[in-house]
Amino acid sequence: MRTDIPLVSLSALDEKRFGVKTAKTSPLRAGDMGRVMDFCAIHRVEFLIARCPSDELKAAQEMERLGFSLMDTLLYYSCDLKKRGVPVDSAGPALRTAVPGDGNAVREVAKEAFRGYFGHYHADPRLDRDACDEVYTDWAYNSCISTETADTVLIAESPEGGIAGFATMREKSEGVGEGVLFGVAPEFQGKGIYRRFMTGGMEWCIQRGLGSMVVSTQVTNTAVQKVWVRLGFEPSHSFYTFHKWFTKA
């Protein structure tokens, strides 16, 4: 029995953003569905975001039977920094740490980088497109102004002194650092900035005494997975994300 995080809970943030009563689950196993559906009925949930480990096929199949739709597959990779070390990245741009005053500029970069992204929100045609984009822009902004969202944000400056990209980092659990949300403005993509963010994130983990680093993305995001593999990250685990609507479109 998992007691640390609730199996399913209401999401005030999503409700405010999308204007429908929303709930989210923690990773589900097959036997959990009854409790999740009861919770949704009691709380009159209109929209449910449910995730299950991709090796919990029975849970995934049960969701299919109940009319849930698959929205994305999330892959996690990890790197044992004690074993691998950080590859030297002398070609990449210099990085600095964000200050709260960078929030608006980081939001603008996120707006360009994540417009029409392929995460589970954008995959759902019932969700407003601009509101889906705001998931990422608000998240990037909040990472700069609140340590509840990120422990640090790395910034790559453009040659003109603006912001070319950002990378948010947090301590995920004891000894484990996580690279969370990374974005590079379209005009600066393909120049190795993302790779430099990854090595910068690995350095940040080592400086904080964190022995490993994890990252995650949609299975379709091959650009970042190529960089991870080249830096010595290895596949770790994965999740399916489903959406269930309890109201008619």
Judged by beta carbon, residue 14 or residue 178, the one nearer ligand COA is 178
Q: Is 224 left (phi over 0), alpha (psi -120 to 50) or beta?
A: alpha
Q: How far is the CB of 218 from ligand COA (least distance, A)?
A: 8
Judged by beta carbon, residue 103 or residue 179, the one nearer ligand COA is 179
Judged by beta carbon, residue 113 or residue 202, the one nearer ligand COA is 113
Nearest to 243 by CA among 66, 132, 119, 124: 124
Judged by beta carbon, residue 36 or residue 78, the one nearer ligand COA is 78
Structure tokens at 10: 């209401």
Judged by beta carbon, residue 22 or residue 143, the one nearer ligand COA is 143
Please give the size of the binding site for ligand COA, defined by CB under 6 A: 19
Of these, 195, 212, 228, 239, which contacts ligand COA (CB under 6 A)?
Answer: 195
Interaction mask 63-102, ligand COA, x per CB under 6 A: ----------------------------------------
Q: How far is the CB of 192 from ligand COA (least distance, A)?
A: 5
Judged by beta carbon, residue 137 or residue 217, the one nearer ligand COA is 217
Q: Which residue stretch of 36-44, 82-90, 142-150, 215-223 sits at the interface with ligand COA (rule: CB under 6 A)?
A: 215-223
Site for ligand COA in 154-193 (CB under 6 A): 181-184, 189-193
- Residue 194 lies near ligand COA (rule: CB under 6 A): yes
Whole-angstrom distance, CA of residue 195 vs CA of residue 217:
15
Q: Which residue stretch of 23-31, 35-43, 122-130, 221-229 sits at the interface with ligand COA (rule: CB under 6 A)?
A: 221-229
- Residue 226 lies near ligand COA (rule: CB under 6 A): yes
Answer yes or no: are the C-beta atoms of 197 and 95 closer than 8 Å: yes
Count how many Cα atoms sit within 13 Å of the Cα of residue 85 in the half-sphere of its side chain: 3
* Residues lying near ligand COA in the complex (CB under 6 A): 113-114, 181-184, 189-195, 217, 221, 223-224, 226-227
